[in-house]
Structure 1
Amino acid sequence: MMARQRAFQDRASLSDLREDLYQAHGDQLMKPLVAALRDVWDGAHDAVADRLQENRPNGLTIARRLAQQMDDILVTLLEAITRHVHRNGNPSDSERFALLATGGYGRGAMAPYSDVDFLFVTPYKQTAWGEQIAESLLYALWDMKLKVGHAVRSMDETIKMARQDMTIRTAVLEARFIHGDAGIFDKTMARLETELFAQTGMEFVAAKLDERNKRHQRQGGTRYLVEPNVKEGKGGLRDLHMLFWLAKYIFGTREPKELIHLNLFTKEAFQRFERSRRFLWTVRLHLHLVRGRAEERLTFDIQQEIASRMGFLDRGATRGVERFMKRYFLAAKDVGDLTRIICAALEDNQKKQAPGISRFMPSFMQRKQRPAPGFVLTNGRLNFDLDEPLQASPERIIGIFRLSQTSRYDIHPTALELMSDSLGLVDARLRAHEGANKLFMEILTDQDFAETSLRRMNEAGVLGRFVPDFGKIVAMMQFNMYHHYTADEHLIRAIGILAQIERGELKEEHPLATELFPRIGTRKILYMAMLLHDIAKGRDEDHSIAGERIAYRLCPRLGFTAAETETVAWLVRYHLVMSATAQRRYVGVPKTIRDFVAFVQSPARLRYLLILTVADIRAVGPGVWNGWKGSLLRQLYQEADDVLAGANPVQRRSQRAMLAKDQFQENWAKELANDGDDTAKKFLDMHYDSYWTVMDGDSILSHARLMAERIKTGKDIVFAAEDDGFRGITRFSILTDDHPGLFARITGAVALAGLSVADAKIFTTMDGLALDTLWLQDERGQAIADKARIKRLEKAVLDTLGGHVVLPDVLAVRRKAPSKVDAFKVAPDVVIDQDASGTHTLIEVSGRDRVGLLYDLSRVLVAQNLRISSAQIATFGEKVVDVFYVRDAFGLKVTSQTKLDKISAAMLAVFDGLGQEKVA
């Protein structure tokens, strides 16, 4: 018997293997044959892995060789079945059959764990002998642990079902003969062509394009998702397959290179087609082998390994995995370009299907339609009028995008292709052309179509040439979980969101930004700042500082005054400050507001910055923006706007406390009067002034109800949970006897419940009670809709405080579960800020997120005899930033440098596991 080899086996050697086993086992050869062929298939997997390690491997060639190996295995099995297991020395005409590979396998290329799809075609109704053959083959393949898609149909049934079912029609379109009666295959394909394909061309095209659009939406709607699906995603292999399906169905092409002879592709376009196929197939083969299963999604945890396997190394500030993903996104972009070219050719072909129609058109309709000088309409789409060479007026390359916006005509794919082939015309002279720069600004600030036009400019390669610094971030991904899109796609999406805010379409989600937009003054400042805010990503220096320099260099070229340029540059330089302040600092501290206002300096800048921040966060990706972040930004804006208008933050704090007490008494009289005035007075007296300046009216009333419940029921611990749907948060409050480590244990219980803390305020009342309020979110960053989870959280808190759960042990078990964040390295950091507050020491800790991290950090602070007054938690993908406002045991700031160094060391030790067992 043939031993397993790390090589492909040819059909002759498998035939010899079959006969050797027949000689040894007679009619019982199937079991050993199946085992031997499984070894052959495993050896083929090994051969795929070996060939992928060769210099510049061709994934498509390897995938074809693997499909050929499967062909040989199927033929070997069928010959064993028909010759030795179910012999039929004189088969009747009805007992003839053809075995056809279909679907992806029919294309003659497969990945190691792809499905094996095939079809038995018979001339007439299936016979008993035919059923035995098909059944035996299926059992053999199942015993080989292969995933099989199969069908047995007559020729008539094949035609009928292909007519009824578009999936079946697509599968047989790519059918390939493997074994049996070749005449049946030829006749079946001829009938499909004449009886079905030739009559339903545009029906097939429409169905496939609709199917593609729906598939793209399921996969995220963009080819620039940072965890793309190599097979099904936009710009993936399925899109390439679709190109060939359409060409084969309409034009009868058998090989992709025929697309050149049909004038569907230029030689250069065909080369892009082949490069994309080879690259995507290489990636897909690696994916299957790394996972050991049929995996099509290029997730973070395997991107680095595949990048390494494919030879992508770090270069300067750019990591190898980021270079690899850039290559992927450029391939996906090429697939998009090729799709447009094929679709345009199909559209032109359809126009030609009305013979002689021009004879009935008025003469003026037969003349070229010119929507503007230098342009024509081709089948209702904008194209260049090549009576005048493009070289003579290259500003038309910019102008066609603006004309598309104003005329509402789409741009013809051949025009986009011509631009891609003529990028040399987008040079320094064109960039200095006053008219071209004016057109670009009109494109950028168009309220309706800026996003669409910029994306088209980018995909044609024009945007990166006209704004060279933008070209440096095209297809650049940032290897982290926070950013969902490539850097260029993020900027273009941010422009689109900005326009949506301006049009008032996001009024419900972003009421403040929508209200402020008409008051910003010069809208082009905001659009330009949005385009440039991340344009310097991927450089050795801070992208905000480098982006500021780019703004000072680019804006004058585009017609900005010195004052306008300065504002754009300022916004680019400081575009992260408002988000960082809102999410990492407590806005209720007067010094936070004073420092922020001193930085912003003017109401106009504040408005610009608020809108820029909202659009930037929202454009990061689905689920990144939530109501809680919105509420933090609104609060910061309103506080800063008041101070810019002349308010004193310290006086406002005192006034807020007085107003809060008055409002509480009014609310008590309305809603809780039955609990008595004595209870109300007790609640007023039990809190220090800091409580009244921090908590909002709803929270205060909720806390009063808690106190009343504790008095009535005599319970040691009482809970309250209320949702705020607009802010996307659940407020969870606990009132109980105070003791060291209480907050840490509560956060541990929250981790056990699978929830996350966004904010927390911790108060000790004058009579020694602890009132801890946490603002919680679920895995989606939303309020907790399932009330059963709140009940489970309350039980977890009770079990934890009662000593029934040993949190370190339970959380240690939870952390063993695989997590996406395991693919990333985040250097931990501790920043201690004594200037952020006049009464507290601020400790900011950042590092890689994990289950129960807030609990671990809080335990460290407890062990250092520190009191936590508040905590703010901001998560950015795999990175978390936890900010604590703390005081020492005497209620003072921590001033000893030795003590501060010890705190920092203990916090950092949490991230590498050192010393955790010492924190009880």
Structure 2
Amino acid sequence: MSAHLKTLQAHAKKALKPAVQGHLSPAERIALYKRFLKIEEHRIKLHHRAGAGGLETAHARAGLLDVVLRSLFDLALSKRKDAPVIGLVAIGGYGRGTLNPCSDIDILFLLPRASNKLPADLTSLVQEILYLLWDVGFKVGHACRSVAECIQQAKADQENKTALMEARLIAGDKKLFAEFQARFEKECIAKGQAAFFELRRQDLVNRHEKSSKTVFLQEPNVKESCGGMRDYHNICWVARVKLGAKSLRELVDDRLLTAAALRNIEAAYDFLNRVRNELHYDAGRASDQLTLRLQGVVATNFRYPQRSILRRTEAFMRDYYRHTRALYRHTESLMETFEIDQETRAESGLKSYLMVRKKKREEFDGFVGRDGRIFPQNNSIFKEDPHRLMRLFQHCQVRGLRLSPAMRKLVKAHREDIGRPFCYSKTNRETFQAILERKGDVARTLRQMHRVGFLGRYLPEFGALDCLVQHEFFHRYTADEHTLRCIEELDALVGSEEPKKQIYRRLFHEAEDPYALYLALILHDTGRAENVREHTDGSAMLASKLCNRLQVHGPRRALIMFLVDHHLTFWRFATTRNIEDPDVVAEFARIVKTKARLDLLLLFSYADSNGTNTETWSSWKETLMLQLHSSTRIFLSEGRERYAASIRTEKKELKELAKAQLKPEKHTALDDHFKRMPESYFRFRSPAAVASHVKAVYRLAPPAEDNTFECSLQWLDSPEKGYTELVIATRDQPLLLEKICCALASEELNILSADFFTRTDGVVLDLFRVCTTNFEPVSDLNLRKRLSSTLKEVGQLAKYEHARYFRRKPNLLRPKDDHGMAFPVRAYVSNDLHPTYTAIEVQAVDRIGLLHDLFHAINSHGLNTANARISTEKGAAMDTIYITTHDGKKVYDEKILQHLQQTVETLIGKKD
């Protein structure tokens, strides 16, 4: 008996004595129990806050409830002369003797006869105990069954069988409970093992599917996700049924688990209980979802020493992922061991001998291939030839095998052999290169390497990423998991029939050096573990180091260094620069230099984005990427002059196609439009879009003598994309963009992206892709009318107060389930990004009115907006605004630049 339980029983004996002796009224008794529970629960909570282990706290709470339930049971029996034959039994989680702070309790009233044949006094006793429990405040799940009924229910329903497997007598008749245990062991544990194993295996598969078969979720469920508490329970149940093991320690005696593996499992389970305890205490109710907000709460309450909450959260989540990964892998291995055992038993039977063809067995290089798994011929194979450690994975790749539990255990036992001589070995280097050269079949092999710790030992640069949390807005996975998913995205292109992926499939097929491409993917994020400001710098440094060790030289080394150093360049150019500008294309072409590098960088960006988050590779981003790829490819193929000529040809063809969509009376307006619009407008513009823009300009009324503000609005719905394109044609005036954004904010419209063009005659064509705060197209006709009226009213005013039209409100645009994730807010004001403009780069949590506030800040500094790349993705605003002085030059005044930087940072909520 633990010291805590002894102290608890002493407290109970003293505190509950008046209730047991019957000196109190019913109301006084209930109040006494409630007070006792409150005091003792608070003691347990304080113990938890002081750093008590997860199981220690859960055992303490179960012990507390045991004491109270026994007291209530004794209280009910004290009113009867003869003690009836009945047992009060804890089942389910409570039966395990562990109970988290707000978990419900499940109890069984074990009866001497069928529940429908109970005498009145026994029925009355059960009801009295239940009423006492409810009055005290317990949430109780209960059942009343005889021994025979329990056995019948367990046979009929495997879930009932699981709950009863952990039955524990709290109070009552010991003989009756012993009878139940004996019959349950004989009729439910010893029989029906195959069906029970299949149920638990399927439960594991279903839960893991829901968690994408990874522990590295942004917001895991500590009970149900991969590596969660249910994985631990599952393996305990299976071990009990298949081996009769009352604890996992018995598996160590049977050599199914190593002592180290058991320590890992128990440490993980204790950690998960501690996390769950904290979640319950924080919420004041049963809560198992480790949300982004709660991760910071738990990390802080667990006293992680890092100064910022973000760093504390990262450290805590790294511990969480390591524990859950260990639990996930060990339980998977045990289930696989049991599955192999079950298959072997089935094949050894007479029926199997007659009906099942003997499965293929192959012996090679010290290994045995059987049933899709690879086994060691003996435990000395790696001592005989250490190079087999590398060849093992090549055999798995070529033969389509996976590591058996025995093989995983043996590799882990030889991890220390993967030292400097092994890593510098030419033989191993050539085998590893051969593995990476098998296009489309690399990720599966690397995952097997990573699972047993081989990959991180052979490539320590990658090993530093192990469970490294990337608490960035778009990164869903840890750094190591992200890298492996990038490689899976690349592999998946082989054989893909999806029309949208054919361009990437073709580029992958044409890639001449898959070794360099895969190695660059493995290395591209290694700098995240180096704590440098730009992780690409750290990655490039580590890539150079690895190339030296692997003896990678010449063009291959140059390609790897290029891909690692520029793996974000394609994305940055496409999403922040004006890619319709030939100068931007020329600058990008100077970076990539060749068509082969351009193709590989696009392929790399595709894999990187999709491996970051499935939502990151949006149709908008892909369109920009493909536009930049197409333009740069032409530029590299034909040179600047011929590239310019091709643009002129495209423009001419676009004009003819647009003319075909307009009535003859608008052809003159079309000619005028093509003369006056900037060249960047015509790149990648569809004929239908140009025709609609000409109509908008055509409808614009001539300038009025009284300078009345006139504008023409056109709404083009794209329900399949979830937005409406708003075309605004008007004449330029001071503060125009600010006023338009003010009007949009007044109707709480979200700006997803925007393009701004000014014709040589002063007519402005602004294209906004907008949606409602529910991320739907703007279909409300009344809203459209109100916006038109507001825009004309605001446009008329020389001076206006935006507060008259909208007020900043709490963010309406963040996903409903983001739970206040810490978003990396950034603002840079720079003269280095563009040759003729000063650039403002903003990454911020999107909100209604943000773009208005940015334009207002620019205008208040006496500056002009020349161009902009506006985009919103997953509730994040990523805007690049190009500004000039009034005379069209860059802003060089340091005071203005510094003040503008501070103003923008204040607007987006950036904190030091």
User: Is the structural similarity TM-score above 0.5?
Assistant: yes
TM-score normalized by the length of structure 1: 0.86
Residues 693 and 619 of structure 1: CA distance in aligned 2, closer, same or farther (over 3 Å) = closer
User: Does the 8 Å CA contact 1:827/1:848 hold for their aligned counterparts?
Assistant: yes
Deviations 1:233-283 (A, max 9, x none): 111211111110110122222223222233322222222222212222222
Pair 1:47-2:37 in alignment = no
CA distance in 1, matches of 2:22, 2:325: 56
Match of 1:194 in 2: 186
Pair 1:505-2:496 in alignment = yes
User: Does the 8 Å CA contact 1:821/1:878 hold for their aligned counterparts?
Assistant: no
Match of 1:71 in 2: 66
User: Does the 8 Å CA contact 2:825/2:909 hold for their aligned counterparts?
Assistant: no
User: Does the 8 Å CA contact 1:399/1:439 hold for their aligned counterparts?
Assistant: yes
Counterpart AA for 2:58:
A
Residues 23 and 184 of structure 1: CA distance in aligned 2, closer, same or farther (over 3 Å) = closer
CA distance in 2, matches of 1:12, 1:481: 52
User: Does the 8 Å CA contact 1:215/1:232 hold for their aligned counterparts?
Assistant: yes
Match of 1:855 in 2: 852
User: Does the 8 Å CA contact 1:490/1:619 hold for their aligned counterparts?
Assistant: yes
CA distance in 1, matches of 2:215, 2:779: 37
Q: How does 1:368-379 map to 2 (within 5 A)?
A: 369-377=361-369
Match of 1:904 in 2: 901
Q: How does 1:649-798 map to 2 (within 5 A)?
A: 656=647, 659-660=650-651, 663-669=654-660, 671-673=661-663, 677=667, 680=670, 687=677, 691-692=681-682, 695-707=685-697, 717-723=712-718, 731-735=725-729, 740-744=734-738, 746-747=740-741, 756-764=750-758, 770-776=764-770, 786-787=776-777, 794=784, 797-798=787-788
User: Does the 8 Å CA contact 1:548/1:573 hold for their aligned counterparts?
Assistant: yes
Residues 689 and 879 of structure 1: CA distance in aligned 2, closer, same or farther (over 3 Å) = closer
CA distance in 2, matches of 1:44, 1:749: 59
Range with bigger deviation, 175-184 or 132-141 = 132-141
CA distance in 2, matches of 1:163, 1:535: 53
User: Does the 8 Å CA contact 1:702/1:720 hold for their aligned counterparts?
Assistant: no
Q: How far is the alpha carbon of 1:462 from its aligned partner?
A: 0.9
Counterpart AA for 1:302:
L
SS at match of 1:71: helix
Match of 2:223 among 217, 231, 235: 231
Q: How far is the alpha carbon of 1:71 from its aligned partner?
A: 1.8
Q: How far is the alpha carbon of 1:753 from its aligned partner?
A: 7.2
Q: How far is the alpha carbon of 1:372 from its aligned partner?
A: 1.0
Pair 1:108-2:97 in alignment = yes
User: Does the 8 Å CA contact 2:220/2:290 hold for their aligned counterparts?
Assistant: yes
CA distance in 1, matches of 2:722, 2:638: 32
SS at match of 1:101: strand
Match of 2:240 in 1: 248
SS at match of 1:842: strand
Counterpart AA for 1:868:
T
CA distance in 1, matches of 2:778, 2:722: 18
Q: How far is the alpha carbon of 1:579 from its aligned partner?
A: 0.9
Deviations 1:80-116 (A, max 9, x none): 3444xxx443466xxx432322222221112111222
CA distance in 2, matches of 1:594, 1:511: 27
SS at match of 1:545: helix
Match of 1:530 in 2: 521
Q: How does 1:168-179 map to 2 (within 5 A)?
A: 168-179=160-171
Deviations 1:193-215 (A, max 9, x none): 33333221121111112111211
Match of 1:917 in 2: none
Q: How does 1:350-365 map to 2 (within 5 A)?
A: 350-351=342-343, 353=345
Counterpart AA for 2:168:
R
Match of 2:420 in 1: 428
Match of 1:842 in 2: 839
Deviations 1:533-584 (A, max 9, x none): 1122121323322322322332354464422112111211111111111111
User: Does the 8 Å CA contact 2:743/2:805 hold for their aligned counterparts?
Assistant: no
CA distance in 2, matches of 1:148, 1:360: 48
SS at match of 1:10: helix
Q: How far is the alpha carbon of 1:342 from its aligned partner?
A: 1.6
Match of 1:268 among 242, 260, 263: 260
Deviations 1:167-197 (A, max 9, x none): 2222222222222333333333333333333
CA distance in 1, matches of 2:847, 2:44: 37
Match of 2:831 in 1: 833
- Percent identity between the aligned chains? 26
Match of 1:288 in 2: 280
User: Does the 8 Å CA contact 2:296/2:310 hold for their aligned counterparts?
Assistant: no
Counterpart AA for 1:883:
T
Range with bigger deviation, 802-811 or 587-596 = 802-811
Deviations 1:680-722 (A, max 9, x none): 567557755554458443422232344567779x995533224
Match of 1:14 in 2: 12
Deviations 1:582-602 (A, max 9, x none): 111111122211211111111
Q: How far is the alpha carbon of 1:812 from its aligned partner?
A: 2.7
CA distance in 1, matches of 2:611, 2:234: 30
CA distance in 1, matches of 2:692, 2:903: 36
TM-score normalized by the length of structure 2: 0.87
Match of 2:208 in 1: 216
SS at match of 1:536: helix
Match of 2:174 in 1: 182
CA distance in 2, matches of 1:560, 1:221: 35
Alignment gaps of 5+ in structure 2? 703-708, 795-800
Pair 1:125-2:123 in alignment = no
Deviations 1:362-421 (A, max 9, x none): 9xx999954312112466621112164422212222222221222223221121012112
Match of 1:586 among 558, 578, 600: 578
Deviations 1:649-704 (A, max 9, x none): 7x8568646754653454343x3328654665675577555544584434222323
Residues 117 and 698 of structure 1: CA distance in aligned 2, closer, same or farther (over 3 Å) = farther
Residues 345 and 684 of structure 1: CA distance in aligned 2, closer, same or farther (over 3 Å) = closer
Aligned-residue CA RMSD in angstroms? 3.9
User: Does the 8 Å CA contact 2:107/2:143 hold for their aligned counterparts?
Assistant: yes
Match of 1:918 in 2: none
Match of 1:339 among 315, 331, 352: 331
Residues 553 and 610 of structure 1: CA distance in aligned 2, closer, same or farther (over 3 Å) = same
Q: How far is the alpha carbon of 1:493 from its aligned partner?
A: 0.9
Range with bigger deviation, 272-281 or 755-764 = 755-764
Match of 1:3 in 2: none
CA distance in 2, matches of 1:367, 1:165: 34
Range with bigger deviation, 732-741 or 289-298 = 732-741
CA distance in 1, matches of 2:334, 2:508: 42
Range with bigger deviation, 292-301 or 315-324 = 315-324
Counterpart AA for 2:45:
A
Match of 1:98 in 2: 87
Residues 806 and 105 of structure 1: CA distance in aligned 2, closer, same or farther (over 3 Å) = farther
Match of 2:883 in 1: 886
Counterpart AA for 2:829:
V
Residues 687 and 189 of structure 1: CA distance in aligned 2, closer, same or farther (over 3 Å) = same
Counterpart AA for 2:598:
L
CA distance in 1, matches of 2:482, 2:231: 23
CA distance in 1, matches of 2:750, 2:806: 19
CA distance in 1, matches of 2:470, 2:621: 22
User: Does the 8 Å CA contact 2:811/2:847 hold for their aligned counterparts?
Assistant: no
Residues 44 and 849 of structure 1: CA distance in aligned 2, closer, same or farther (over 3 Å) = farther
Residues 663 and 694 of structure 1: CA distance in aligned 2, closer, same or farther (over 3 Å) = closer
Q: How far is the alpha carbon of 1:485 from its aligned partner?
A: 0.7
CA distance in 1, matches of 2:61, 2:498: 55
Deviations 1:308-354 (A, max 9, x none): 33343339999343232222222122112311332243235425645
Q: How does 1:439-450 map to 2 (within 5 A)?
A: 439-450=431-442
Range with bigger deviation, 470-479 or 847-856 = 847-856
SS at match of 2:631: helix
CA distance in 2, matches of 1:778, 1:466: 51
CA distance in 2, matches of 1:539, 1:561: 24
